[in-house]
Chain A
Amino acid sequence: MSLLEARGIGIAFGGLRALDGVGFAVDPGEVLAIIGPNGAGKTTLFNVVTGLYRAQSGEVRLEGRDVTGLPPHVLAARGLARTFQNLQIFFRMSALENVMVGRHLKERRRLWAELLGLPSVLAENRASRARALELLAFVGLAERAEEPASALPYGALKRLEIARALACEPKVLMLDEPAAGCNPVETEEIDRLILAIARKGTAVVLVEHDMKLVMRISDRVLVLDQGRPLAEGTPQQVRSDPRVIEAYLGRLGLEAAHAAA
């Protein structure tokens, strides 16, 4: 039994089958990359697994329990956290507060205590704050904690989302294009971050276009093409799979690859 398992996921938007019989499984401490050409269904798969979309077929199991179709906040409580390809930042809050929101499930909420500002609530605030500062330091944003999120550059916001997701103490972390739009230096930082997260025992599932990053850090790679699984295996296996090269580069690319070999 894997930690997170998706089986036979299928979803269609209108007449378009965005996903058809897609599945994956990931274990603690493992890094699984999902790659594929644009429109392959990678983000859609993420959205199904994290409860934003409802699949028409298939099932998702987390720690062996069926979690198919549960709303995102319930999945978060079960240990699933994610980031977004197009950033979803709380721009009116500081960087620190963004990560503090990630502590939501770890905070005890009793409305009366909160309204009265009881010492227990203040202690809770301090604890969340301290944990959020640690996480900001972990992603390299400690000095910018008090700045409004709207003042941070793109690369920093990518890492802020990772810190916020980590604040949930997830069992599975799903990263949707964590290095998109980042320069090589920022990409390398994210690279290191992901490996450090996996080393602590968190399962990491990522969608990424940066092939160098994928090849460097993934234990396994799942390739999607037009909503269907195309290949799965170690980075080495996938890289030399003719079907994968064809999907990415077309027939000509395949011939070029043969010629080069």
Chain B
Amino acid sequence: MAPGTRTKLLVLGALGLVLLLVPLLLPSAFHLRVAALVWINAVAALGLALLMGLAGQVSLGHAGFMGIGAYATALGPKHLGLDPLLSMGAGILLAGALAFLVGRPILRLKGHYLAVATLGLGILVHLVLVSEVPTTGGPDGIQVPRLELFGIRLVGPELWYWITGITLLLAAWLALNLEDSSTGRALRALHDSEIAASVVGVDVARAKLVVFVIAAVYAALAGGLFALFNRFVTPDVAGFLRSIELVTMVVIGGMGSILGAVVGAALLTVLPQALTLFHDYEHAVLGLSIILFMVFLRQGIVPGLAALVTRRRPA
């Protein structure tokens, strides 16, 4: 078996195990809701991890794509009478198309221009969601209709735990497959040397564009899931702070690590919930823990721990 296949099974196995264990250990509705939020954020972080870890590009407006997915899911049924699931699909397509249009001219340039362009895009999306009050409901947010499938109402924390969890598992599977493919290798290569990648035939601009669109699609999918799960969205879902949180999830968990993106998402989703006890200090503690992680586990949690384990193992 190629090492790629073994790693793939290991990661998916670990993820599946956690998915099975959480409802057994923490069966309360509250815990399942937090866990579902973790899986949703992990889907978005996963896409960003592909962009940052594989291609070495940063999106500072990724929550913008989440916002597009979330609001498409909310607005489609309200204004166009569309099915929520169909609206979510349209939102994902829209986010992918937007990423393509923004990324195409920007990714021809070398350097971190994408970070600046996406920063602007994220702010723009947020601005539209806040100010177009008649359409979007403005800062107060908007209700999302219940999802019905074949006449069955999809409600309850347990059901949404599994919907989001299985989506994450599928998203991770696709991401792992991409890593272990010609495109994946090309992306990792251009991260180290764009020149060397181009002289062996890699169309660097195109490869970066592909992974940027994938990352946007992942974020929009996460946004749509969030809207359906939470049944209420506000422009905060697309806010700049959310974008920074997504980047932090990827960096803390370990760039380029699929499992790391999930761990990072778990940490940044669960920690604020746990810290509500010290409400006044919540942001201080969060900031401090990010600094500590970066000082002591600079590669991120998952690669950092993996390195520790390998070092301890007797030769």
Q: A-side interface residues toward B, CB under 8 Å?
A: 50, 52, 71-73, 75-77, 81-82, 84, 88-93, 97-98, 100-105, 107-109, 111, 114-117, 121-122, 124-126, 128-129, 164-165, 167-168
Residues of B within 8 A of A92 (CB): 188, 191-192
Is B276 at the interface (CB under 8 A from chain A)? Answer: no
**Complex partner residue of B200 from A93, A104, A108, CB under 8 angstroms:** A104
- Interface pick from B141-149, B179-187, B238-246: B179-187
Interface centre among A77, A108, A115 (most CB of B within 10 A): A115
Q: For the complex, give the distance between the alpha carbons of A77 and B185 in Å.
A: 18
Query: In the complex, what's the smallest C-beta–C-beta distance from B87 to chain A, in angstroms?
Result: 24
**Stretch of B27-35, B158-166, B202-210 at the chain-chain interface:** B202-210
* Contact, CB under 8 Å: A72 / B186: no
Contacts of A76 in B (CB 8 A): 198-201
Q: Which residues of B contact A (CB under 8 A)?
A: 2, 4-5, 8, 173-174, 176-178, 180-186, 188-189, 191-193, 195-204, 210
Kindly list 15 other residue pairs between chains A and B, CB separation below 8 angstroms, not including A93-B189, A121-B177: A52-B195, A72-B195, A73-B199, A88-B196, A93-B192, A101-B186, A101-B189, A104-B182, A109-B182, A114-B177, A114-B184, A117-B177, A117-B180, A129-B2, A165-B199
Residues of A within 8 A of B174 (CB): 115-116
In the bound complex, what is the Cα–Cα distance between A93 and B256 (angstroms)? 12
How distant is the Cα of A124 from the Cα of B180 in the complex, in angstroms?
Answer: 11
| A89–B201 CB distance below 8 A | no
A-B contact pairs, 24 of them (CB 8 A): A50-B199, A73-B199, A75-B199, A76-B198, A81-B199, A88-B195, A93-B185, A93-B189, A98-B189, A101-B202, A104-B182, A105-B200, A109-B183, A114-B178, A115-B174, A116-B174, A117-B173, A121-B177, A121-B181, A125-B181, A126-B2, A129-B2, A164-B196, A168-B201
Residues of A within 8 A of B5 (CB): 122
Cβ of A93 and Cβ of B178 under 8 Å apart?
A: no
Could you tell me if B201 and A91 are in contact, using CB atoms closer than 8 angstroms? no
> Which residue of the partner chain A has the closest CB to B181?
A114
Most chain A CB within 10 A, of B176, B191, B193, is at B193
Q: How far is the CA of A91 from the CA of B196 in the complex (A)?
A: 11
Question: Whole-angstrom distance between the alpha carbons of A107 and B8 in the complex?
Answer: 21
Task: Give A91 Cβ to nearest chain B Cβ, in Å.
Answer: 6
Bound together, the chains give a CA A82 to CA B180 distance in angstroms of: 25
Closest partner residue, chain B, to A76 (CB atom): B201
A177, chain B: closest CB distance, angstroms = 15
CB <8 Å contact, A125 and B197: no
Give the residue name and chain of the A residue nearest to B210 (CB): A111
Chain A, Cβ-Cβ closest to B4 = A125
Q: Complex formed: what's the CA distance from A52 to B110 in Å?
A: 13
Complex Cα distance A103/B202, Å? Answer: 10
CB atoms of A114 and B183 under 8 A apart: yes
Contacts of B173 on A, CB cut-off 8 Å? 117
Q: Closest approach, in angstroms, between the C-beta of B139 and any C-beta of chain A?
A: 37
Contact of B186 among A88, A104, A108 (CB under 8 A): A104
**Residue in A105, A121, A122 whose CB lies within 8 Å of B201:** A105
Please report the C-alpha to C-alpha distance between residue A97 and residue B196 in the assembled complex, in whole angstroms: 13
Give Cα A50 to B196, complex, Å: 11
Query: Smallest CB–CB gap between B246 and chain A, Å?
Result: 21
A89 to B182, CA, bound (A): 17
- Which B residues are in CB contact (< 8 Å) with A82? 199
Q: Which residues of B contact A167 (CB under 8 A)?
A: 200
Query: Assuming A72-B198, A126-B2, is B193 touching A116 (CB within 8 A)?
Result: no
Q: Is the CB of A89 within 8 A of B188?
A: no
Chain B minimum-CB-distance residue to A82: B199
Shortest Cβ distance from residue B42 to the other chain A in the assembled complex, whole angstroms: 18
Residues from chain A with Cβ under 8 Å of B186 in the complex: 101, 104
Return the 5 tightest CB-CB contacts between A and B, nearest first.
Answer: A117-B177, A88-B196, A76-B201, A114-B181, A105-B201
The distance in angstroms between the C-alpha atoms of A128 and B200, with both chains bound, is 14
Shortest CB distance A178–B (Å): 15
Interface centre among A71, A75, A82, A117 (most CB of B within 10 A): A117
Task: Looking at the assembled complex, report how far the CB atom of B168 sits from the nearest CB atom of chain A, in whole angstroms.
Answer: 15
Contacts of A126 in B (CB 8 A): 2
Cβ of A228 to closest chain B Cβ, rounded Å: 26
Task: Write the nearest CB–CB distance from A202 to chain B, whole angstroms.
Answer: 15
Residue of A at shortest CB range from B177?
A117
A43 to chain B, nearest CB (A): 13
The 8 Å CB contact of A101, one of B8, B176, B200, B203, is B200
Cα-based distance from A93 to B185 in the complex (angstroms): 9
Instruction: Tell me the smallest distance from the CB of A137 to a CB of chain B, in Å.
Output: 18
B195 — nearest CB in chain A belongs to which residue?
Answer: A88
Q: Hey, which chain B residues are within 8 Å of A102, CB to CB?
A: 200
